[in-house]
Structure 1
Amino acid sequence: MNRLVLASLMALIIGTTAFAQQKRNTRVEIRGDKFYINGTPTYEGRTWKGHEIEGLLMNSRMVQGIFDDLNPETMGKWKYPDTGKWDPDRNTDEFIQNMENWKSHGMLSFTINLQGGSPEGYSRQQPWHNSAFTEKGELRPDFIARLEKILDKADELGMVPIVGFFYFGQDHRLEDEKAVINGVNNAMDWLHEKAYRNILVEINNECNIRYSHEILQPERVHELIKLAREKEKNGYSYYVSTSYGGGFVPLPNVVQTADFLLLHGNGVSDPDRIVAMVEETREVEGYRPMPILFNEDDHFDFDKDWNNFIAAVSAYASWGYFDFRMKDEGFEEGYQSVPVDWDIRSERKKGFFRLMKEITGY
């Protein structure tokens, strides 16, 4: 066998192996206002107390799955109670260990963010440095390696992560608008390189809350949605959107550009207002049949007949749980507060998963 033939054969073998490594198990589609996984609507045929559940995507805010703190002055804040030290790999590993249990209760999606969220729940000052992006918008390999583990496990389990890029407490870590655009391009290129087909993209969490860069603010964020949507490889492009702060109805520029719409229920204590938000969203200029998801809501009352979760479902909108460790609460509380107990131990967590399991029929 001459060298040219041998080289061609080796190239074919390498290429075939690479393709095999990228073969994915889970594919999400949006058809009208419903989500489909591998060609079948989610929660196929399911109704609950007269409400249609088929096509929804129940979720939870789990944004700290790849968290780390690059600020030596604050990294000591996140010590595990049993070891007295912080460990980002332990955090990701324990996240992954619990994913199958989450799904067994009907949770098909979760939001994870490349810049996390406030590890204290709500914080105006955020001196910690938690960003998968460098100041130029390049991807940090250690953060991305942890993300890959989570997304690979989600693909294996048939879950659909919502991958957020930017967070208002950390977007200033990118030096300018060019870096933000670089960040979107690099993150999208990486998703395409890994050939994930089970991902929804959220450009930034709550675009109308204190962002440093204008392109991440409400008037211009649709430019980044468009940029991400137009990224295509092998005929495939990702579904993209952004979210707003609690109680806010999406603006026309986002409604007209996005593939699905993200609402937040924070600050909305009346479940009737949750229904009204969904109805108002469907009236925004440019709306056409598309999924509406709450992917953050810090209201609970899961034992009551009428709560924000049930209200969203009654309006045919998916709902997402947001929980943080409140003052003087134990380690088992909250999915946003670092260090995180990713298990289902607290009464709040149990209440959410119990109601979700009932609603989805899992």
Structure 2
Amino acid sequence: MAGQTVVSIEGDRFFINGEVTYPGTAIEGRLMNSRMVQATFDDLNPETRSRWDRPGRPWDAQRNTDEFIAQLPTYHAHGLLAFTTNFQGGSPEGYSKEQPWHNSGFDADGTLRPDFAARMGQIIDAADELGMVVILGLFYFGQDERLNDEAAIIRACDQTTDWLIERGDRNVIIEVGNEVDLDRVYAPTHYQHPIIQVQRGDELIQRIHERSEGKLDTPEGRLLVSTSQCGGQVLAEEIAGVVDFVLLHGNGVESPSKIIEQVEASRQVPGYRGQPIVYNEDDHFDFDQEENNLAAAVEAGASWGYFDYRMKDEGDEEGYQSVPTDWSLSSERKRGFFEALKKLAQSTAG
């Protein structure tokens, strides 16, 4: 039955099917997650598609999705309650200066592509059966220019909203764009469409709110929506009053103490009204150490998200963001995260 898992928010805590997440543990009310944005990846550029081939194993988008879904029970058994995926993925190289590949779930006019939607629907359904939440991203810099204009961005936003409502998905929360303040933090321009950028970040959030209002059988009665910012940045005042949950990134935050400062500073931003704070991207590990970014986020009262990519000279077993992806717990880093999470999910609050 689609929509059997219902995510909701009360104050700064997450609930699934009316029960607070991780009850009685040190992470009660959190939404611990992992960045799995390539779960629907495909490359529509014939000039770059062969990059993702391996000997005897040409790239196959459906196989990639199937292999991801097959690992969901393992993730869930270790305490993972949520993961981020995105209709425009993320860099399959971890960090990229150029993005010649074409990985977009939207046609140039903003129409939702049936093949991408089918794979995303399979993922949402599989998560729903397990009681997991999908943090569904719409846009990614380097790929947003695949859409022609602002009208196409709006159409993509509307079609995704309508698609989720028609499906009756209640385990999905929305991340409109990934790191929408890139143009404020770095140069040159990354997002080509200003309506996605943080300066206008409230517009699409409010549009999804209004379009979904009263159309979902959830405590809020509509989709829960946010948009994420660059590593180390605090909540932007432009979106503080409209987001249902705050999405921060820990990339570039080398000291765990700075994670605590980032969370505390975000809570002081005008417009912040006590929403839960969620890291859904952080590429710092050290899970065997007493002090690390995961532990600091937990101390600060925030949820944390694991972001792992294949680093220089590493093999295919590394990195959940790199393509082709080994979705199993195939590396020391992956196992380190999931073992740390399992301990937290079984911990006692105090």
TM range (shorter): over 0.9
Deviation at residue 84 of structure 1 after TM alignment? 3.5
Matched, 1:56 2:30: yes
SS in 1 for 2:289: coil
What amino acid is aligned across from residue 324 of structure 2 in structure 1?
P
Aligned to 1:220: 200
Deviation at residue 290 of structure 1 after TM alignment? 1.1
Identify the match of residue 175 of structure 1 among 132, 148, 168. Answer: 148
Matched, 1:76 2:50: yes
Aligned to 2:162: 189
Aligned to 1:141: 114
Aligned to 1:66: 40
> What stretches of structure 2 of length at least 5 have no aligned partner?
183-189
Q: TM-score, normalised by structure 1?
A: 0.91
Identify the match of residue 88 of structure 1 among 61, 76, 83. Answer: 61
Aligned to 1:12: none
Distance 1:234 1:174 in 2: 27
- Name which one, 1 or 2, has greater alpha-carbon Rg: 1
Deviation at residue 218 of structure 1 after TM alignment? 1.1
Identify the match of residue 12 of structure 2 among 11, 33, 39. Answer: 33
Query: Which consecutive segments of 4 or more residues in structure 1 shift more than 2 A?
Result: 232-236
Q: TM-score, normalised by structure 2?
A: 0.94
Structure-to-structure mapping, 1:96-175, within 5 angstroms: 96-175=69-148
Deviation at residue 314 of structure 1 after TM alignment? 0.2
SS in 1 for 2:175: strand
SS in 1 for 2:176: strand
What amino acid is aligned across from residue 7 of structure 2 in structure 1?
V
Distance 1:40 1:119 in 2: 36
Identity %: 56
Aligned residues: 335
Distance 1:181 1:214 in 2: 12
Aligned to 2:25: 46
Matched, 1:231 2:211: yes
Aligned to 2:266: 281
Deviation at residue 127 of structure 1 after TM alignment? 0.3
Deviation at residue 169 of structure 1 after TM alignment? 1.4
Distance 1:302 1:294 in 2: 16
SS in 2 for 1:120: coil
Residue deviations 1:184-234 (CA, integer Å, cap 9, x gap): 000000000000001110000000121000101110011001101112253
Residue deviations 1:130-169 (CA, integer Å, cap 9, x gap): 0000010001100110000000000000000100000001
Aligned to 2:235: 250
Aligned to 1:24: 3
Deviation at residue 289 of structure 1 after TM alignment? 1.5
Distance 1:303 1:174 in 2: 43
Aligned to 1:325: 310
> What stretches of structure 1 of length at least 5 have no aligned partner?
1-20, 48-52
